[in-house]
Amino acid sequence: MANQTILWRGIYLPGHEACRVISASDGWGLEGVAVFSHDHRACRLAYSVLCDSHWNTLSGSVWGWLGDETVDIELAIDPDHRWRLNGVAQPSVADCIDLDLNFSPSTNLLPIRRLNLAVGDEAQVRAAWLRFPSFELEPLFQTYRRIDESTYRYLSSTGFAADLEVSSVGFVTNYPGIWEVEA
């Protein structure tokens, strides 16, 4: 798969986000930037997520600002799936494989690519959820069910459910009421 890009328009958090998936010889990466409004404050968050060749998250970072607050997050994951946030152990998310950035639709691509579900199949995952705007890391139980070639039913332990339309790459193209693709 060659490098792919996408541009989303935020509905719930008014703004835009651009992202690209990068193919490397030893794995995959996501790079992006989201610019949006939250509680009448301008927000600019850039991010990078590195994965191995099987789409297991290896590291992540988020940097930028929310209003006048600086954001600088570094996530490190060891081979035993132990997570560190800015150098501090995060035992509550031990054994999580996927990173979920609460402010972005980009990281839904990670389990979609990793699981590679056949139509009709479903799988449960436990993601390390980087909450917005607190930037705290907590576990989030998720279920992905592949409805057809381009639709996944997504359920989370928060009670949230949506049918996500996705591209052939795995980018969400329609996250009802939250994000939609522009380019």
| Higher-pLDDT residue of 53, 1 | 53
Mean pLDDT of the chain: 96
Beta bridge partners, 100, equal 129
pLDDT at 1: 56
Q: Is 97 left (phi over 0), alpha (psi -120 to 50) or beta?
A: alpha
Which structural domain, as residue segments, surrounds residue 108? 4-181
pTM of this structure: 0.94
Distances (CA, A) of 46 to 6, 20, 26, 43, 134: 15, 12, 23, 10, 16
Q: What is the mean pLDDT of residues 93-122?
A: 97
pLDDT band for position 28 (50/70/90)? very high
SS3 91: helix
Does the pLDDT at position 2 exceed 70? no
Total domains present in the chain: 1
| Higher-pLDDT residue of 3, 118 | 118
Does the pLDDT at position 89 exceed 60? yes
pLDDT at 76: 97
